[in-house]
Structure 1
Amino acid sequence: MPAMDYQGSSSSSHSTPFSSFGRSIMSLRRDSPAAAGSPAMPSGEEADLDEFQRHVAAHLAELRGGGGGEEFLSIAWIRRLLEAFLVCQEEFRVVVAEARRRGALPPPAEKLVAEFGERAVKALDVCNTARDGVDQARRWERLAGIAASVLLAPGEIHEGQLLRARKALSDLSVLLIDDAAAAAGGGGGVASFLASHRNRSFGRARASPSRAASLASSSSQFRSLSWSVSRTWSAARQLQAIGAGLAAPRAHEASGLAAPVYAMGCLLHLAVWALVAAVPCPDRGGAFQAHHLPAAPPRAAFPWAPPLLALQERLTEEGKRKDRRNSCGLLKEIHALEKCVQRLAEAIDAAPIPLTGERDAEVREAAAELAAVCAAMREGLEPLERQVREVFHRIVRSRMEGLDSPMLNGD
């Protein structure tokens, strides 16, 4: 991603319940009545680490329960998940900085922090491909919007409007087929439907070999120019690399930074997994295979484990749903776009010329549904792309700070 200065948490651009969690966990501990006089209160460092884990649990519980009213895997929900990661990552950075300032971060703890930094760096490629995937979805929205808008113009629907809508849907089918194949190893869903109907619905005559070759060439060229990673890059393998070695600390290791570092590793993995699942990414289909996931944390060992496991289970269920399995992405708005595009293609295919009253109403209704989905995507995709960029640059900044630590510099 291009260089970009961090401009603060994305919560400033929209109202979110997570904004109340933005305060430093040290200030939360100091404000707690129990901190003043309880003899059982742990040391300052231990209290900070315990509060951090409770904070992660609160974020995940909000995401699990839909506290903001967003539907699971919608653009708004993905943004809330990324916001949770950003807030927790910032507070984790503060905890580590405070421990270093007090001289309370021994070499084993520094090693754990450095290992998390290395794990987070592996997520940078996912951020890049997720940004590319959002850009792909924006292209789909523009083509779908053309098809919908020409059919919603005032007056009767004429043959020229139908032809223009068919052309937009045909161009969209090329992109969807290519991206479905890149994501899952083969086309499916609306992509397969549009491919099978192109000759009948979008050309009225069988495409010539030269025309078919032209379509294949344009599709290949589009993909080679759109992805910022190599053609052999796999989202599933990258997700596996991020989760590799992510295991719960043993009982004698659970004190100090071991548990918070593990919490951040699990939260990072959940965030990148949701991004890979939601938007087009090369070879994202394998991301739902069990061997690509880290070992599950013990439910009773950490306060954030139950909501985390519930979210992981729900992601797995969505990826296995028959109507979503071959989708270009599990994002709610992408799924709605695919369904509406298919419905409009069917309505156009069945429409006689000139349109009768019943057929005219059917085409207009399908076009209106598609237009509404396109409007929602236009409104949400740009903020989502900005937030993915923010995650990218926050990881880079944190890694640079980690490389400046005394341990890694040999001071």
Structure 2
Amino acid sequence: MILHSHRSRVINPSLDRLVNDFNERSVKALDVCNAIRDGVEMVKQWEKQLEIVVCALDHKRIISEGQFRRAKKALVDLAIGMIDDNSKDSNNVSSFTYRNRSFGRNNVNQGSSQFGHFRSLSWSVSRNWSATKQLQAIGNNLCFPKSNDLVATNGLALTIYTMSSILLFTMWSLVAAIPCQDRGLNVNFTIPRQVVWAAPVMSLHERISEESKKRERKSSCGLLKEIQKIEKCARAMNNLADSLHFPLSEEKENEVRVKVQDVVNVCEDLKDGLDPLERQVREVFHRIVRGRMEGLEYLGR
């Protein structure tokens, strides 16, 4: 739309360079979206482990030692799955090593051949893919346009800078919230104060950064509120399990029931939150694809 509205200014070396840089950033952002989609899927797997706990300790049945062993195994599997591969104390093989899905892989035979070709550019992330390095690549050489570029592009350089900065911030926020491969938030992100939208964006950036530095969050695999709930209820269930002796007293059984209800509540929160989040990330992915394809098509005329 921007290129179409300013057709007479498109053939400009300064603008051409900025547009090409933005296109490169958008391709890198697609990989981040795919990694985030994998992260959401991973959280759904954790939800399934919690559902096993709920099923094993169903309130309609008397809790036996065998049922509790099943629940305990699910909690152990959950704990292993939630180990943050960024942790210095972790020697686990990353859960994100094997990736085989992408937002672009569904309905392969539908749509234009151009769209099918573009899909291959962001099929999935490789084993050595790094969210931290990808964010750094998106932010590479991203700086406020110089006065001569602003003049040469009649202000369009500022528009592209704004789009690139918001793209970087959006991808950084997703990586902060969702588990993904080699997740890290140490990305240089600054907006000059004279930019109108600088204050609210930098305020959000600061709040997210401060949240990630909290003691209870440092070893977390994501800042998503639901992930914190999973960690808390799993920790509470494990602590309770260590104090149980069978057969259970009525008091202990009631205590287990209360904790299981907490797990049920977390599962409901996950169901309510994860699907809308995945749809929103998918929409971001497809908007980036459409915008890039339309831009390339226009420039190719």
Aligned match of 1:225? 98
Report the number of matched residues. 274
- Give a deviation string over 1:47-78, Cα, whole Å, max 9, x none: xxxxxxxxxxxxxxxxxxxxxxxxxxxxxxxx
| 1:236 paired to 2:132 | yes
Give, in angstroms, the shift of residue 168 of structure 1.
Answer: 1.2
Aligned match of 1:46? none
Distance 1:155 1:319, change over 3 A: same
- Work out the CA distance in 2 between the residues paired with 1:328 and 1:308: 23
Contact 2:96-2:180 at 8 Å conserved across structures? no
- Work out the CA distance in 1 between the residues paired with 2:172 and 2:95: 25
CA RMSD of aligned residues (A): 2.2
Distance 1:129 1:161, change over 3 A: same
Q: Mean Cα displacement is larger for which, 387-396 or 269-278?
A: 387-396
* Partner SS, residue 15 of structure 2: helix
Contact 1:233-1:282 at 8 Å conserved across structures? yes
Ranges in structure 1 where 5+ consecutive residues have no aligned partner: 1-93, 188-215
* Partner SS, residue 293 of structure 1: coil
Q: 2:38 aligns with which of 128, 132, 153?
A: 132
Contact 1:133-1:280 at 8 Å conserved across structures? yes
Distance 1:397 1:249, change over 3 A: same
Aligned match of 1:263? 162
Contact 2:94-2:181 at 8 Å conserved across structures? no
- Work out the CA distance in 2 between the residues paired with 1:185 and 1:125: 25
| 1:97 paired to 2:4 | yes
Identity of aligned residues (%): 43
| 1:174 paired to 2:47 | no
**One-letter code aligned to 1:175:** G
- Work out the CA distance in 2 between the residues paired with 1:349 and 1:359: 12
* Partner SS, residue 377 of structure 1: helix
| 1:365 paired to 2:254 | no
TM-score with structure 1 setting the length? 0.62
- Give a deviation string over 1:208-251, Cα, whole Å, max 9, x none: xxxxxxxx9xx759654347422221111111110111111234
**One-letter code aligned to 2:157:** A
- Give a deviation string over 1:68-99, Cα, whole Å, max 9, x none: xxxxxxxxxxxxxxxxxxxxxxxxxx333222
- Give a deviation string over 1:1-27, Cα, whole Å, max 9, x none: xxxxxxxxxxxxxxxxxxxxxxxxxxx
Distance 1:171 1:354, change over 3 A: same
Give, in angstroms, the shift of residue 155 of structure 1.
Answer: 4.1
Residues 10-409 of structure 1 mapped to structure 2, 5 A cutoff? 94-100=1-7, 103-107=8-12, 108-177=14-83, 180-181=84-85, 183-187=86-90, 220=93, 223-226=96-99, 228-254=124-150, 255-284=154-183, 286-287=184-185, 289=186, 292-294=187-189, 296-299=190-193, 301-406=194-299, 409=300
**Larger-Rg structure:** 1
- Work out the CA distance in 2 between the residues paired with 1:251 and 1:221: 46
* Partner SS, residue 405 of structure 1: helix
Ranges in structure 2 where 5+ consecutive residues have no aligned partner: 101-123
Give, in angstroms, the shift of residue 320 of structure 1.
Answer: 0.9
- Give a deviation string over 1:118-160, Cα, whole Å, max 9, x none: 1111111111110110010000001012113322422432222
- Give a deviation string over 1:338-365, Cα, whole Å, max 9, x none: 1111101111221121112322222222
Q: Mean Cα displacement is larger for which, 334-343 or 364-373?
A: 364-373
TM-score with structure 2 setting the length? 0.84
Give, in angstroms, the shift of residue 185 of structure 1.
Answer: 4.4
**One-letter code aligned to 2:10:** L
**One-letter code aligned to 2:33:** C
* Partner SS, residue 217 of structure 2: coil
**One-letter code aligned to 1:158:** S
**One-letter code aligned to 2:209:** T
